[in-house]
Amino acid sequence: MSNEPRTLMYRDALNEALVEEMRRDDTVFVMGEGIAERGGSYKVTAGLLAEFGEKRVIDTPLAEASFTGAGIGAALTGMRPIVEILFIDFSLLTLDQVINQAAKLKFMTGGQSSVPFVMRTQGGTGNGVAAQHSQSLEAIFYHIPGLKVVMPSCPHDAKGLLKTAARHNDPVIFIEHKLLYMNEGPVPTDEYLIPFGQGDIKRSGSDVTLIAWSNMIPRSLTAADKLAAEGIDVEVIDPRTLVPLDKELILESVRRTEHVVIVQEAVRRGGVASDIASIIQAEAFDYLDAPIEIVAGLNTQIPFNLTLEAACVPQEDDIIAAVKRAVYA
């Protein structure tokens, strides 16, 4: 079989991963609001009901805590549930189940129990869906021992990482982005998996290390191309998984470029970017020629108005300005 890549949308790459894993393993099933007959609000689960039936593609009530708990219970009995939470904002309703149960049961049973549970959700701004549907909450899950946190930025990574998540024996929080679903990119024909903890250099460069994830990667790559025209060579690193974090990839790049910019869509206060900055400060401080720059969302609610929404999160111009501050400091 040829492994020539095809061009797929992000949502179709996710769909393909689900189909392949459900064909491969009868214990994999999906559940969530509107995912069966409707194929999900973003069409990631389109066609699954017709192939796998209602016992493995389950429409749920609007009761996130309840069906998340059902998924965790199923995982404890040997099944591999992939539970969809329509907006990451609604994952707040599941936190006791996820944090106090799924994340801790392996530890509390001395390794006798495993929880092969995946929560698929999406977050971030876009489309003017306002304060209760636009948050970037990855830092909540990043903070919890026992959880893996995955945030793919392109179709290739989305498929490979979701397949890995479906086979993982510990709980995985798989965070997509509402503005990425229609993005296209190359995806190999043959099967592949992407290991957790393996970041990717999306653009090689020599002047500054720019670390970003999810929808900030396309935005950062566009900014990097514009900066190249001004003679600034930006290396763009996508961790792909925040937990586990590919610390060595980041540190190796920082030691070469000696300048760092970290971009996150989430509000700056208590964010993942600050933790990554602390790692760099502790382990590569002597290599830094300038302070670390963090570009992040404002510490405010996300407005409904599209212009105000855009003003609350990093844009290309914000990234370009931060890179120049870092390089010219």
Question: Which residues are catalytic, by number?
Answer: 133
What is the pairing mode between strands 118-123 and 80-85? parallel
Distance CA 2, CA 23 (A): 21
Could you tell me the end-to-end alpha-carbon distance of the chain, in angstroms, rounded to an integer? Answer: 52
For residue 263, give the nearest of 290, 299, 292, 287 by alpha carbon: 292
Cα dihedral angle (163, 210, 202, 170), rounded to 10 degrees? -10
Q: How far is CA 125 from the centre of its chain?
A: 14
Q: 287: which DSSP letter?
A: G
Beta-bridge mates of residue 248:
none
Q: How far is CA 150 from the centre of its chain?
A: 4
